[in-house]
Chain A
Amino acid sequence: MKVLVTVKRVIDYNVKVRVKSDNTDVDLANVKMALNPFCEIAVEEAVRLKEAGTADEVVVVSIGPKACQEQIRTALALGADRGIQIETEEAPESLGVAKLLAKVIEEEQPGLVIMGKQAIDSDNNQTGQMLAALTDMPQGTFASEVKIDGDNVNVTREVDGGLQTVALNMPAIVTTDLRLNEPRYASLPNIMKAKRKPLDVKSPADLGVELKAHTKLLKVTPPAERQAGIKVASVDELVEKLKNEAKVI
C-alpha cells in the first residue's frame, strides 16, 4: 500500500508572531519556519506503517513557494521515500489546496492519506475534511490511534466528550491529533540521504487546477492585550481578592 502524507511550512511553534504595523498581515520576515507539528506527526505515522510492513511507499506532498522544499526534505529525512512540491506563490486557501491534493490522489492512488488536523498558522482545521469530500473518501479526523485491518482502517478520534472509534473503508483520509505518536528526530546520515531522494515539482496547471479566491483578507490586527495583574503574597490574600475585589467566588 502507498501512503500519501501532506506537509505545510509554517512559523515555528515557539515563535510568537507579530502583526505588521499597516495591519495587512502578520510579519513573517526573518521568522523561523518549520514543519507544521501536526504534519510531523502525520509523517511519523506513515513511516511507522512502512516500518511495520503495512505500507510499501510513503510519498510526501507540500504546496507553496520553493522554500517548502525544505519541509519536504525534512519529511524525507524522517523516512518518507519521495516528495512532490506543487509550486504556488503564496499559500492558497484550503479549498484550493484540497483541489490540488485531489489531483495528486488521482495520479498516485494511495491506500491511505495522512494529514495534520490543523496548521498552526491559519488554524483552520479543514483541508483534510475538504479533500475527503472532493475524493468521496471516508475520514478519521483528530486521530489518536490508527489501526489497519485488511481493507479497513479503524481510527480512534479525540472528540470533545472523550474518544470515539470509527471504521473506514480504504482508501481513507486520516488527520492527526497530538497523541497519535511522538515524532522522531532525523539523524544526520538520514538528513544527508534525504538530499538524494527524488523530489518532483509540479504547477497547478500541470494538475489542471485553477486556483480561485473565495475569501478576501481585509485586515489583521493584534488581539486585545490583557492588563498585567498583581502578585499576591499568600493564599489568604488570594482568597480575599477573589471574594472582595474580583467578586468571582
Chain B
Amino acid sequence: MAILVIAEHDNSTLKGATLNAVTAATQMGGDVHLLVAGANCGAVAEAGAAVAGINKLLVADNAAYEHQLAENLSKLVTEVAEDYSHVVAPATTTGKNFLPRVAALLDVAQISDITAVESENTFQRPIYAGNAIATVESLDPVKVITVRGTAFDAAAAEGGSATVETLDAVHDAGVSSFVGEEMAKSDRPELTAANVIISGGRGMGNGENFAMLEKIADKLGAAVGASRAAVDAGFVPNDMQVGQTGKIVAPELYIAVGISGAIQHLAGMKDSKIIVAINKDEEAPIFSVADYGLVADLFDAVPELEKLL
C-alpha cells in the first residue's frame, strides 16, 4: 500500500516543510502520493507533481479547503486515507491542527513529531522537551504521523513527474469559518528554513532593540527568532518563538543573544550545527550547549559584531 503525504501550502506556493515530510515518507517503504487540498491551488498542485519521489498527486480544489479548516480537511483526508498504509503531514501548526482529527476518525493513534524512521511501523520521537527519545512501534493498520522537518533533508523540488488525479469530494462541516489573519511580513528567510538564525531574549530589554539583531540578520541573510520571555513581554510577535512549544529549528548557525537557555528554549534549537551565545551571566545554561560563548553585555557586543561582519 502507498503512503499519503498531505501538502502544506497557502494556495499559491508549496511550503518547504512538505519536502521534509516527503523524505520521511520515502523511508517508510512504498509509493508516495501527495494530497494538495485547497482553493484555487493549481500552482501548488503543479509544484507538488514535480517533487522528486512522488508517484501520484491528488488535488482537491474547493472553497471548503481554502483555509485548511481542520473540521473540513480531516473529513477529506479520512476518506482518502482508507487506501493507504501511512498518512503523513509536516509537524507545522497546520499539520498539528488537522491530523489528530484524522487519526481519531480512523480510530488509530497519531505518532507526533517523528525524528527518525526505523521501519515501516517503528519511529523515534522526542519527549519531555527533547530530554528523552522514545522509540515507538505502531500497532495500527494505518499509521498517522507528523514529521519534524529539521530531522529530515528536503526532497528535491524538481525531477518528479507524478500522475495527477482530481478529487471531487467536498466536505464542508459547516461548523467553523475563517474570520481573518495577521500574518508576519518579512523579506527574511522563514525561521524553519533559515541557514542562520539570530534570536533575542528578555535581555534585549524591549522590541526596538531587536533592530540591532535585524541589522546582523540583513548582513548574514539570517532569520530573527526569540525566546518565550521576549514574546510574552510583547517585544516581538508569537511566530518568532523558538522552543519546545514554538518553532523547532536547526540552522547551520544559531546566535542566542540575551537568552538564558531554559530547557524549553534548548528543545527548539539544540540541534543547530553551531551555537553562539552572547550573555552577560557566565553561569547562564545556554553556555552549556554553545560552541562559542561570549560573556559580555549585549549592548556592547552586538553593535561590535555588526561592524565586524
> Which A positions have Cβ atoms within 8 angstroms of B?
11, 13, 16-19, 26, 38, 93-95, 98, 117-118, 120-134, 136-139, 141-142, 144, 154, 157-169, 172, 177-179, 213-223, 226-232, 234-236, 238-239, 241-242, 246, 248-249
Give Cα distance in the complex from A239 to B236, angstroms.
27
Contact assessment for A134 and B104 in the assembled complex, using a CB-CB cutoff below 8 Å: yes
Q: Which of B96-120 contact A (CB under 8 A)?
A: 96-105, 107-113
Which chain B residue shows the least CB distance to A27? B132
Which chain B residue shows the least CB distance to A131? B104
Q: Which of B73-100 contact A (CB under 8 A)?
A: 74, 92-94, 96-100
Give Cα distance in the complex from A239 to B247, angstroms.
27
Q: Which residues of B contact A172 (CB under 8 A)?
A: 175
Contact assessment for B127 and A239 in the assembled complex, using a CB-CB cutoff below 8 Å: no
Give Cα distance in the complex from A136 to B74, angstroms.
11
Contact assessment for A215 and B137 in the assembled complex, using a CB-CB cutoff below 8 Å: yes
Q: Which residues of A contact B109 (CB under 8 A)?
A: 93-95, 214-215
Q: Which residues of B contact A154 (CB under 8 A)?
A: 179
Q: Which residues of A contact B179 (CB under 8 A)?
A: 154, 165-167
Min CB distance, A42 to chain B, in Å? 14
> When A and B form their complex, which 10 residue pairs have the shortest distance between CB atoms, in order from nearest?
A126-B100, A129-B100, A214-B109, A229-B291, A130-B104, A133-B104, A133-B101, A138-B176, A165-B179, A248-B253
Min CB distance, B187 to chain A, in Å? 15
Min CB distance, A224 to chain B, in Å? 9
Contact assessment for B93 and A129 in the assembled complex, using a CB-CB cutoff below 8 Å: no
Contact assessment for A123 and B139 in the assembled complex, using a CB-CB cutoff below 8 Å: no
Q: Does B275 reach chain A (CB closer than 8 Å)? A: yes
Interface residues on chain B, number (Cβ under 8 Å): 89
| Residue contacts A-B, CB under 8 angstroms, 14 given | A123-B112, A123-B113, A128-B100, A160-B94, A160-B239, A177-B238, A179-B232, A214-B139, A215-B137, A218-B122, A219-B135, A226-B288, A229-B287, A238-B294
Q: With A120-B244, A126-B110 given, is the CB distance from A167 to B177 under 8 Å?
A: yes
Contact assessment for A242 and B136 in the assembled complex, using a CB-CB cutoff below 8 Å: no
Q: With A95-B103, A239-B305 given, is the CB distance from A178 to B132 under 8 Å?
A: no
Contact assessment for B132 and A223 in the assembled complex, using a CB-CB cutoff below 8 Å: yes
The one of A18, A130, A226 in contact with B100, judged by C-beta atoms closer than 8 angstroms, is: A130
Q: Which residues of A contact B93 (CB under 8 A)?
A: 141-142, 157-160
Min CB distance, A105 to chain B, in Å? 14
Q: Which residues of A contact B7 (CB under 8 A)?
A: none
Q: Which residues of A contact B211 (CB under 8 A)?
A: none
Q: Which residues of B contact A98 (CB under 8 A)?
A: 104
Q: Which of B8-26 contact A (CB under 8 A)?
A: none
Give Cα distance in the complex from A236 to B307, angstroms.
10
Give Cα distance in the complex from A154 to B247, angstroms.
24
Min CB distance, A143 to chain B, in Å? 12
Give Cα distance in the complex from A133 to B180, angstroms.
23
Contact assessment for A231 and B293 in the assembled complex, using a CB-CB cutoff below 8 Å: yes
Min CB distance, A23 to chain B, in Å? 9
Q: Which residues of A contact B293 (CB under 8 A)?
A: 229-232
Q: Which residues of B contact A221 (CB under 8 A)?
A: 132-133, 135
Contact assessment for A139 and B288 in the assembled complex, using a CB-CB cutoff below 8 Å: no
Q: With A95-B108, A232-B293 given, is the CB distance from A162 to B132 under 8 Å?
A: no
4 further contact pairs, Cβ within 8 A, besides A16-B131, A129-B98:
A123-B127, A218-B136, A220-B132, A249-B309
Q: Does B5 reach chain A (CB closer than 8 Å)? A: no
Q: Mark B240-256, 1 if CB is under 8 A from A, else 0.
A: 00001101000011000
Contact assessment for B176 and A232 in the assembled complex, using a CB-CB cutoff below 8 Å: no
Min CB distance, A71 to chain B, in Å? 18
Contact assessment for A230 and B127 in the assembled complex, using a CB-CB cutoff below 8 Å: no
The one of B108, B245, B291, B304 in contact with A117, judged by C-beta atoms closer than 8 angstroms, is: B245
Give Cα distance in the complex from A94 to B291, angstroms.
38
The one of B132, B139, B178, B287 in contact with A26, judged by C-beta atoms closer than 8 angstroms, is: B132
Which chain B residue shows the least CB distance to A231? B293
Contact assessment for B245 and A162 in the assembled complex, using a CB-CB cutoff below 8 Å: no
The one of B132, B238, B247, B287 in contact with A163, judged by C-beta atoms closer than 8 angstroms, is: B238
Min CB distance, B264 to chain A, in Å? 7
Contact assessment for A249 and B237 in the assembled complex, using a CB-CB cutoff below 8 Å: no
Contact assessment for B253 and A246 in the assembled complex, using a CB-CB cutoff below 8 Å: yes
The one of B127, B247, B274 in contact with A121, judged by C-beta atoms closer than 8 angstroms, is: B127
Counting chain B CB atoms within 10 Å of each CB, which of A17, A93, A229, A230 scores highest? A229
Which chain A residue shows the least CB distance to B97? A141
Q: Which residues of A contact B113 (CB under 8 A)?
A: 123, 125
Q: With A179-B238, A223-B131, A223-B132 given, is the CB distance from A168 to B309 under 8 Å?
A: no
Q: Does B270 reach chain A (CB closer than 8 Å)? A: yes
Give Cα distance in the complex from A249 to B196, angstroms.
9
Which chain B residue shows the least CB distance to A157? B93
Which chain A residue shows the least CB distance to B110? A126
Give Cα distance in the complex from A95 to B270, angstroms.
30
Q: Mark B287-309, 1 if CB is under 8 A from A, else 0.
A: 11111111110000100110011
